[in-house]
Amino acid sequence: MTVFEHTRDSSPDAEFERRRQRAVDAVRRTTAERESTLQAIVERATTYADAPIGAISIIDRDRQWIAARVGIGATETLRSASICAQAILRPGEPLIIFDTTQDERWSSLPMIAGLPYVRFYAGIPLVNRSGYALGALCVVDLAPRAVAPNVAELGRFAREAERVLTD
């Protein structure tokens, strides 16, 4: 698997992405008013996972927009530099990476090769009622881990974020 390559063609995948993007656009228009609630969810998720970094991100056409965050100052990144952009490719499954430096799919990403030197990643896709993955809730550590936090519990935080984003 390679890092997500975003295309704008007329394939069925491109049509799916256009529909997904319309759902993302609708969520982005209302997210600012829900920021404090999303922030509380990220804070609880990072505390639960004993992780120094966490975020709720929305994956736009070319960028990852960070709607709520703990432990990082960035408010957006390029989509191509985002692990969360990979997490949304399988909406029903978490993406767990125990050591990002041990896999060539991730090791060259800026946040892994440079500051903040991300080593562990657990992301749960945020999916709307139509089945479109809008983004992800993630928790991140600066050290590799041998064991991931309970995915069902992280999923509970993600479902809460989905309700906030899509209601």
CA distance 23 to 128: 8
The pair of structure tokens assigned to 39 is 């922030």
Per the CB < 8 A criterion, the answer to whether 157 and 137 are in contact is yes
Topology of the domain covering 12-166: Beta-Lactamase (3.30.450)
Q: Which two tokens stand for residue 74?
A: 């960035």
pLDDT per residue over 106-127, tens digit each? 888 999 999 899 999 999 999 9
Instruction: Give the per-residue pLDDT at 3.
Output: 35
- Give residue limits of the domains in the chain: 12-166
- Give pLDDT tens digits for 75-106: 999 999 999 999 999 988 999 999 999 988 88
Query: What DSSP state is assigned to residue 99?
Result: -
Residue 109 neighbours by CB distance under 10 Å: 19
Helix H or strand E segment including 96: strand 95-97
Maximum Cα interatomic distance, the chain, rounded to a whole number of Å: 43
Residue 31 in this model has a pLDDT that exceeds 90: no
pLDDT value, residue 146 = 96
Q: With residue 45 as reference, give the H or E element that holds it.
A: helix 35-49
